[in-house]
């Protein structure tokens, strides 16, 4: 028998169906609420609203659990590589050897970007932020593949668009870096694996050999895996929302990148290092900045701290902090901001303000320290988040299309003026 919840409004009682997730989560299906009662629900910031059912990622914020397609983030980060996780997210299962090789071959075939994209690059000021450029570059792919814009295209064409995005994102990301330092681009080398190819396009100087460090490849794989999906976060919800209007996939991903850039979302990773540098140059006093973060008259927030969903710990942050120690040691990098970050964390976790509000380091708190040790400038950090999140966005878009979901169109409660007469300008 189907389960229901009772809803009582103005003496009128109605039953609403309950939806149970495979991990025991419960939702009240309110889709008939308005037609039955005239009322809608109001949940600003979607703190308590499920926008969809999904079989991709499970997250338990109270217990600090994150799983993709049933596999724990810890197991994936320790045993898999980024391209394999991309396959898992998009297609639903871990690939066998043959499936993986075929996927990798298909991705390799599409790593080049159209030469005309160089002209778009040339038009931007060198100092423009790479995230703004990335949004535009991904959107402009729609101009290069006009025959593939229909989201109701055949499954084969849909797959081609998804592969193109996965293949071209590292190339475009590396181009952004080269642009920022005024160097010529390095073309893809398809004899390399996905992550090594990205590192080579980024750090190889066109006139010199570049030796790819396996420690860096491992670190990058891990970081990209840890960012690969995070269910219905701001950028993913944006991708789904834009996709629900039947917009093409390039536009949806471009919109997701724009949402990610915000400092409360992926843009936090750049802000964390800027904050740590500021604390360092101000004498390294962690307590002073913890007090600033607690002061409601001060707009300062502890960047890389707090999360809408995690109220115990962010499992990604735990893995990244440990990797940070390992990688800095292996690379022989001594970054004083790592010590400041650890001191900030220690001080915050012992402070009642952070304890009561359940504020912990999130994925962005330590990631930037690793990116910087590898050699990325801070403006590139959010681009790296986008590179990691791409398979998640694509998988969520695909799931939405497969479920034939309707256009996303929230309602509102109007709080403006009652009807009033127009006043000519001379009388205002």
Q: Please tell me the distance from the alpha carbon of residue 32 to that of residue 17, in angstroms, as a whole number.
A: 10
Least distance to ligand CMC, CB of residue 348, Å: 8
Residue 30 neighbours by CB distance under 10 Å: 18
How far is it, in rounded angstroms, from Cα 111 to Cα 206?
18
117 binding ligand CMC? (CB under 6 A): no
> Contacting ligand CMC (CB under 6 A), which of 137, 195, 359, 373?
359
Give the span between the Cα atoms of 264 and 271, in whole angstroms: 9
* Nearest CB to ligand CMC, comparing residues 165 and 302: 302
Question: Which of 3-11, 36-44, 65-73, 356-364 is the region at the interface with ligand CMC (rule: CB under 6 A)?
Answer: 356-364
In this complex, which beta carbon is closest to ligand CMC, that of residue 166 or of residue 317?
317
Q: Is 362 in the site for ligand CMC (CB under 6 A)?
A: yes
How many Cα atoms within 13 Å fall on the side-chain side of residue 235?
32
And the tokens for 366?
């330590």
Q: Which of 230, 240, 321, 401 binds ligand CMC (CB under 6 A)?
A: 230
Residue nearest to ligand CMC (CB): 306
Q: Which stretch binds ligand CMC (CB under 6 A): 32-40, 118-126, 297-305, 339-347?
A: 297-305
Interface with ligand CMC includes 264 (CB under 6 A)?
A: yes
Site for ligand CMC (CB under 6 A): which residue of 275, 363, 370, 383?
A: 363
Please report where in the chains the tokens 């960047």 appear, as a residue: 303
Instruction: Please tell me whether residue 400 binds ligand CMC under the rule CB under 6 A.
Output: no
Measured in degrees and rounded to the nearest 5, phi and psi for residue 413 equal -110, 115
Count Cα neighbours of 389 within 13 Å in the Cβ-side half-sphere.
Answer: 29
Q: Which stretch binds ligand CMC (CB under 6 A): 87-95, 189-197, 249-257, 296-304?
A: 296-304
* Cβ distance to ligand CMC smaller for residue 197 or 233: 233
Is 223 an interacting residue with respect to ligand CMC (CB under 6 A)? no
Task: Find the shortest distance in angstroms from Cβ 297 to ligand CMC.
Answer: 12
Which position has the token pair 């990691």?
Answer: 388
Stretch that binds ligand CMC, among 22-30, 89-97, 194-202, 360-368 (CB under 6 A): 360-368
- Residue 321 contacts ligand CMC per CB under 6 A: no
CA distances from 372 to 179, 220, 324, 338, 378 (A): 18, 12, 11, 11, 7
Minimum Å gap between C-beta 417 and ligand CMC is 30
Residues with catalytic roles = 307, 364
If one asks whether residue 305 binds ligand CMC (CB under 6 A), the answer comes out as yes
Distance CA 394, CA 386 (A): 12
> Should residue 306 be labelled a site residue for ligand CMC when binding is judged by CB under 6 A?
yes
Helix axes 234-243, 381-402, angle to 10 degrees: 40
Longest dimension (CA), the chain: 78
**Four-CA torsion 372, 66, 261, 224, nearest 10 degrees:** 40
* Run of H or E residues at 67: strand 65-68
Q: How far is the CB of 172 from ligand CMC (least distance, A)?
A: 21
Total residues in contact with ligand CMC, by rule CB under 6 A: 20
CB of 144 to ligand CMC, least distance (A): 30
When asked if residue 304 is in the footprint of ligand CMC (CB under 6 A), the reply is yes
Instruction: Establish if 343 lies at the interface with ligand CMC (CB under 6 A).
Output: no
Please return the burial class of 20, using the count of CB atoms within 10 Å of its CB with bins 0-12, 13-18 and 19+: exposed
Q: Which helix (H) or strand (E) holds 366?
A: helix 364-374
Residue 334 CA to residue 350 CA, distance in Å, equals 26
Q: Does 169 contact ligand CMC by CB under 6 A?
A: no
What are the DSSP E strand ranges found in 191-328? none
SS3 content of the chain, % helix, strand, coil (to 5): 55, 5, 40
What are the φ/ψ torsions at residue 263 (nearest 5 degrees)? -65, -20
Residue 319 engages ligand CMC in binding (rule: CB under 6 A):
no
Binding of residue 133 to ligand CMC (CB under 6 A): no
Q: Which is nearer to ligand CMC, 104 or 231 (CB)?
A: 231
Closest approach of ligand CMC to the CB of residue 49, in Å:
13
Residues found near ligand CMC in the complex (CB under 6 A): 230, 233, 264-266, 268, 293, 301-308, 357, 359, 362-364
């Amino acid at each position: 028998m189907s389960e229901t919840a009772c809803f009582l409004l103005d003496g009128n009682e109605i039953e609403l169906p309950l939806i149970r997730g495979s991990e025991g989560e419960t939702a009240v299906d309110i889709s008939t609420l308005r037609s039955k009662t005239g009322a809608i629900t109001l949940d600003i910031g979607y703190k308590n609203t499920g926008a969809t059912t999904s079989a991709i990622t499970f997250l338990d914020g109270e217990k600090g659990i994150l799983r993709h397609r049933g596999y724990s983030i810890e197991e994936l980060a320790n045993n898999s590589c980024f391209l394999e996780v991309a396959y898992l997210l998009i297609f639903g299962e871990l690939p066998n050897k043959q499936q993986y090789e075929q996927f990798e071959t298909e991705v390799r075939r599409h790593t080049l970007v159209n030469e005309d994209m160089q002209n778009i690059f040339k038009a931007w000021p060198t100092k423009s932020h790479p995230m703004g450029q990335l949004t535009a570059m991904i959107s402009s792919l729609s101009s290069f593949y006009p025959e593939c814009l229909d989201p109701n295209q055949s499954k084969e064409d849909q797959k081609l668009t998804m592969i193109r995005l996965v293949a071209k994102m590292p190339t475009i990301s590396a181009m952004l870096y080269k642009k920022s330092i005024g160097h010529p681009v390095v073309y893809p080398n398809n004899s390399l694996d996905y992550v090594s190819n990205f590192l080579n396009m980024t750090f190889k100087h066109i006139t010199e050999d570049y030796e790819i460090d396996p420690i860096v490849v491992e670190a990058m794989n891990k970081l990209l895996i840890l960012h690969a999906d995070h269910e219905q976060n701001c950028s993913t919800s944006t991708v789904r929302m834009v996709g629900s209007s039947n917009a093409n996939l390039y536009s949806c991903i471009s919109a997701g990148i724009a949402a990610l850039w915000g400092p409360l979302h992926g843009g936090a990773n750049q802000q964390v290092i800027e904050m740590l540098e500021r604390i360092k140059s101000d004498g390294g006093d962690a307590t002073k900045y913890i007090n600033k973060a607690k002061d409601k008259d001060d707009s300062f927030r502890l960047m890389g701290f707090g999360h809408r969903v995690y109220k115990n710990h962010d499992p990604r942050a735990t893995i990244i902090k440990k990797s940070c120690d390992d990688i800095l040691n292996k690379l022989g990098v001594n970054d004083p901001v790592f010590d400041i970050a650890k001191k900030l964390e220690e001080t915050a976790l012992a402070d009642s303000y952070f304890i009561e509000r359940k504020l912990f380091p999130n994925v962005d708190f330590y990631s930037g320290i690793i990116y910087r040790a590898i050699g990325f400038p801070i403006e590139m950090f959010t681009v790296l988040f986008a590179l990691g999140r791409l398979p998640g966005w694509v998988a969520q878009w695909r799931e939405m299309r497969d479920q034939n979901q309707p256009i996303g169109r929230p309602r509102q409660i109007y709080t403006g003026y009652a009807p009033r007469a127009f006043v000519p300008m001379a009388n205002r």
